[in-house]
Amino acid sequence: MQTITTEELNKRLAAGEKINLLDVREPQENAAFNIGGILLPLGKIRMMDTTEIEDLKSEEIICYCRSGNRSGQACLLLESMGFNNVKNLTGGMLEWQEKF
Protein backbone atom coordinates (compact mmCIF):
# COMPACT_ATOMS: atom_id res chain seq x y z
CA MET A 1 0.00 0.00 0.00
CA GLN A 2 1.26 3.42 -0.93
CA THR A 3 0.93 6.41 1.38
CA ILE A 4 0.81 10.18 0.99
CA THR A 5 1.44 12.78 3.68
CA THR A 6 -0.90 15.63 4.53
CA GLU A 7 1.77 18.06 3.34
CA GLU A 8 2.07 16.38 -0.07
CA LEU A 9 -1.70 16.30 -0.53
CA ASN A 10 -2.10 19.91 0.55
CA LYS A 11 0.53 21.03 -1.99
CA ARG A 12 -1.18 19.11 -4.78
CA LEU A 13 -4.60 20.53 -3.90
CA ALA A 14 -3.18 24.06 -3.64
CA ALA A 15 -1.68 23.64 -7.11
CA GLY A 16 -5.16 22.91 -8.43
CA GLU A 17 -4.43 19.30 -9.32
CA LYS A 18 -7.49 17.12 -9.96
CA ILE A 19 -7.38 14.46 -7.25
CA ASN A 20 -9.78 11.63 -6.51
CA LEU A 21 -10.33 11.79 -2.77
CA LEU A 22 -12.23 9.04 -0.97
CA ASP A 23 -13.57 9.66 2.54
CA VAL A 24 -14.10 6.30 4.25
CA ARG A 25 -15.46 7.77 7.50
CA GLU A 26 -19.08 7.72 8.62
CA PRO A 27 -21.57 10.35 7.33
CA GLN A 28 -21.61 12.30 10.61
CA GLU A 29 -17.81 12.58 10.57
CA ASN A 30 -17.92 13.80 6.99
CA ALA A 31 -20.62 16.35 7.83
CA ALA A 32 -18.54 17.73 10.72
CA PHE A 33 -15.40 18.28 8.57
CA ASN A 34 -14.26 17.15 5.16
CA ILE A 35 -11.86 18.10 2.39
CA GLY A 36 -14.20 17.35 -0.49
CA GLY A 37 -13.82 13.62 -1.02
CA ILE A 38 -16.44 11.15 -2.18
CA LEU A 39 -18.07 9.66 0.92
CA LEU A 40 -17.89 5.86 0.87
CA PRO A 41 -17.76 4.48 4.42
CA LEU A 42 -15.44 1.56 5.11
CA GLY A 43 -18.45 -0.65 5.91
CA LYS A 44 -19.73 -0.29 2.35
CA ILE A 45 -16.29 -1.11 0.96
CA ARG A 46 -16.17 -4.21 3.17
CA MET A 47 -19.48 -5.30 1.60
CA MET A 48 -17.80 -4.74 -1.79
CA ASP A 49 -20.26 -1.96 -2.63
CA THR A 50 -17.94 0.20 -4.71
CA THR A 51 -20.28 1.02 -7.62
CA GLU A 52 -19.85 4.76 -6.91
CA ILE A 53 -16.13 4.59 -7.72
CA GLU A 54 -15.88 1.74 -10.27
CA ASP A 55 -14.93 4.22 -12.99
CA LEU A 56 -11.83 5.17 -10.94
CA LYS A 57 -10.30 1.67 -10.93
CA SER A 58 -7.28 2.69 -12.98
CA GLU A 59 -6.95 6.22 -11.57
CA GLU A 60 -5.18 7.41 -8.44
CA ILE A 61 -7.46 7.42 -5.40
CA ILE A 62 -6.37 8.94 -2.09
CA CYS A 63 -8.28 7.45 0.85
CA TYR A 64 -8.66 9.27 4.14
CA CYS A 65 -10.36 8.84 7.50
CA ARG A 66 -9.98 10.27 10.98
CA SER A 67 -6.46 8.99 11.71
CA GLY A 68 -5.32 6.86 8.78
CA ASN A 69 -6.30 3.47 10.17
CA ARG A 70 -9.65 2.87 8.43
CA SER A 71 -8.34 4.39 5.21
CA GLY A 72 -5.41 1.96 5.34
CA GLN A 73 -7.88 -0.92 5.59
CA ALA A 74 -9.89 0.57 2.73
CA CYS A 75 -6.76 0.77 0.56
CA LEU A 76 -5.99 -2.91 1.11
CA LEU A 77 -9.59 -3.90 0.31
CA LEU A 78 -9.72 -1.74 -2.80
CA GLU A 79 -6.41 -3.19 -4.01
CA SER A 80 -7.84 -6.69 -3.60
CA MET A 81 -10.82 -5.60 -5.77
CA GLY A 82 -8.59 -4.48 -8.62
CA PHE A 83 -8.08 -0.79 -7.85
CA ASN A 84 -4.44 -0.41 -8.78
CA ASN A 85 -3.44 3.08 -7.61
CA VAL A 86 -4.75 3.73 -4.11
CA LYS A 87 -2.91 5.72 -1.46
CA ASN A 88 -3.54 6.15 2.24
CA LEU A 89 -3.41 9.65 3.73
CA THR A 90 -1.18 9.20 6.77
CA GLY A 91 -2.46 10.96 9.87
CA GLY A 92 -5.91 11.48 8.40
CA MET A 93 -8.17 14.40 9.23
CA LEU A 94 -6.71 14.74 12.73
CA GLU A 95 -3.33 15.65 11.28
CA TRP A 96 -4.92 17.71 8.49
CA GLN A 97 -6.83 19.89 10.95
CA GLU A 98 -3.77 20.23 13.17
CA LYS A 99 -1.54 21.45 10.32
CA PHE A 100 -3.88 23.39 8.04
Alpha-carbon gap, residue 77 to 46, rounded angstroms: 7
75 carries an active-site annotation? no
Query: Among 35, 62, 63, 65, which one carries the catalytic annotation?
Result: 65
Alpha helices, DSSP H, located in the chain = 6-14, 27-32, 42-46, 69-80, 92-99
Annotated catalytic sites, by residue?
65
